């Protein structure tokens, strides 16, 4: 290279502004840190918006096996869109009530009226479970006495079963039908200690399926052993409700217009016909003194009352409890320590074609199309009128309450959750994490690309 050429290159290089390598690198690093800080801040804001019950859901977020002081909420709301399922984390733990109907959140495009709402035993934590068809709570969907498990009908006509959804550990036990040829299998009643379940099966009586046989069995959950209680031709009312004595040694159930009493090992004890316009009161039909409660009303009246009978059907008169007016019927859930009867009152649908003041089958009085909403009421001895313990939105049409909650007698002020459910927040968190990862990856790729493009600094 000649001396003149070398000097010309130096003069040309001197006229070119120097590239501030250090300052530019510092500014790029600061910009990258600001972007990362903004992305992290956005993630933290989104996580902060997630309800604590959802955020804390992890392997260690198991609910306790029991609740020290379960209580009945004084009102229930509707399941939010995207509510957590009964088996989702964090676990719900024991429940106070389950409910069903035709309100928003209890229906779907495919499952008709087959979604059940579940409320925690000590707080307004909601879960849902999809049955897939109309299955009223308290009749076909039953909460165990301790509130830990929900029994729901499941399976197909070829393989019917009852599913036992455990709200504490999130497992689902399957109780296959014990009746050969059964096409449906439904829970009908829990034993008081939760170790056995009465199951109602339906079996075709002929190949054409023009007639059916109903079977009622008491199934031990630990061994699967079934005790056959009754088998008979299909009737409008069969084995419902099922009421156990407190020690579980006897049970009573209604079949057509009769009440049957048997022992837990299937031995028939007694039976008696029901008076007109009356029925076995409910799962809490046994009184502490060994008598039974019936529900009845006078034709032409919408006032319903409880009456006592002995196990032969002899009328022992009405206990000193208030009547319930303005309902299609009442169903007895159980008794509090002070003698208060806890009942469900079914408020009629004004547009229903049936007349609830006249003769009507008991199962039709609780049918979804004939009910507007339900209330849980307390009938205290000597009181002039019932006390409302729980209210529900319109089109919540059926409910079941855990026996422990009924006996405990506690009612808490409820504040049902609103806004999106837990599954929505989980989805938002996942999307936020994905976006954060994309932003961070893009920033890192840009930094690497700049380093490669610039290459090493020119030598003098």
Which residues neighbour 164 within 8 Å (Cβ) at sequence distance 6 or greater?
Answer: 149, 150, 151, 172, 173, 174, 175, 197, 221
Q: What is the pLDDT of residue 68?
A: 77
Percent of the chain with pLDDT over 70: 78
Longest dimension (CA), the chain: 131
- SS3 at position 355: coil
Backbone angles phi, psi at 11, to 5 degrees: -65, -40
Read off the pLDDT band of 26 (50, 70, 90). Answer: low
Read off the pLDDT band of 429 (50, 70, 90). Answer: low
Structure-token pair, residue 419? 């806004």
Q: What is the pLDDT of residue 418?
A: 85
Q: How far apart are the first and last CA of the chain?
A: 16
Average pLDDT, the chain: 86
The number of beta carbons lying within 10 Å of the beta carbon of residue 285 is 28
Q: What is the pLDDT of residue 56?
A: 35
Query: For strand 142-143 and strand 278-280, is the pairing parallel, antiparallel, or unpaired?
Result: unpaired
User: pLDDT tens digits, residue range 176-201?
Assistant: 999 999 999 999 999 999 999 999 99
Mean pLDDT of 237-264: 96
| Selected residue with higher pLDDT from 411 and 49 | 411
| Selected residue with higher pLDDT from 2 and 455 | 2
| Selected residue with higher pLDDT from 217 and 352 | 217
Q: What is the pLDDT of residue 60?
A: 31
Flag the least confident range among 31-40, 183-192, 274-283.
31-40
In this model, does residue 389 exceed pLDDT 80?
A: yes
Q: What is the pLDDT of residue 22?
A: 53
Mean pLDDT of 24-47: 56
Flag the least confident range among 49-53, 246-250, 387-391.
49-53
In this model, does residue 310 exceed pLDDT 80?
A: yes
In this model, does residue 424 exceed pLDDT 60?
A: no
């Amino acid at each position: 290279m000649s001396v003149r050429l070398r000097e010309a290159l130096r003069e040309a290089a001197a006229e070119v502004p120097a590239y501030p390598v250090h300052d530019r690198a510092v500014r790029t690093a600061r910009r990258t840190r600001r972007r990362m800080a903004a992305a992290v801040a956005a993630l933290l804001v989104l996580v902060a918006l997630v309800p604590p019950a959802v955020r804390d859901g992890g392997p260690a977020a198991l609910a306790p096996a029991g609740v020290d002081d379960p209580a009945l909420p004084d009102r229930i709301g509707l399941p939010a869109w995207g509510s957590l399922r009964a088996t989702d984390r964090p676990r719900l733990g024991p429940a106070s009530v389950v409910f069903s109907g035709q309100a928003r959140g209890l229906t779907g495009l495919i499952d008709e009226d087959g979604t059940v709402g579940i409320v925690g035993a000590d707080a307004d934590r909601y879960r849902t479970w999809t049955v897939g068809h109309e299955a009223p709570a308290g009749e076909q969907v039953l909460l165990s006495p301790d509130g830990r498990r929900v029994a729901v009908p499941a399976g197909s006509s070829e393989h019917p079963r009852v599913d036992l959804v455990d709200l504490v550990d999130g497992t689902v036990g399957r109780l296959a039908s014990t009746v050969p040829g059964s096409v449906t299998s439904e829970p009908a009643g829990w034993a008081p200690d939760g170790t056995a379940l009465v199951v109602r099966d339906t079996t075709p009586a002929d190949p054409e399926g023009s007639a059916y046989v109903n079977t009622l069995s008491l199934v031990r959950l630990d061994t699967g052993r079934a005790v056959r209680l009754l088998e008979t031709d299909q009737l409008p009312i069969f084995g419902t409700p099922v009421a156990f004595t407190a020690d579980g040694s006897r049970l009573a159930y209604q079949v057509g217009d009769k009440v049957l009493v048997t022992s837990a090992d299937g031995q028939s004890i007694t039976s008696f016909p029901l008076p007109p316009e009356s029925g076995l009161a409910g799962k809490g039909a046994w009184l502490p003194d060994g008598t039974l409660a019936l529900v009845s009303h006078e034709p032409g009246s919408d006032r319903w009352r409880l009456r006592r009978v002995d196990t032969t059907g002899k009328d022992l008169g009405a206990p000193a409890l208030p009547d319930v007016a303005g309902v299609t019927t009442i169903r007895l859930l159980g008794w509090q320590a002070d003698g208060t009867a806890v009942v469900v009152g079914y408020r009629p649908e004004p547009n229903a074609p049936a007349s609830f003041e006249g003769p009507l089958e008991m199962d039709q009085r609780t049918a979804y199309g004939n009910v507007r909403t339900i209330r849980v009421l307390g009938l205290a001895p000597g009181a002039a009128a019932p006390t409302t313990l729980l209210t529900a939105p319109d089109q919540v049409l059926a409910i079941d309450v855990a026996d422990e909650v009924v006996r405990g007698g506690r009612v808490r002020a409820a504040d049902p959750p609103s806004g999106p459910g837990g599954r929505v927040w989980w989805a938002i968190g996942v999307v936020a994490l994905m976006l954060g990862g994309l932003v961070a990856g893009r920033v890192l790729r840009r930094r690497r690309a700049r380093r490669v493009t610039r290459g090493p600094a020119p030598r003098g």
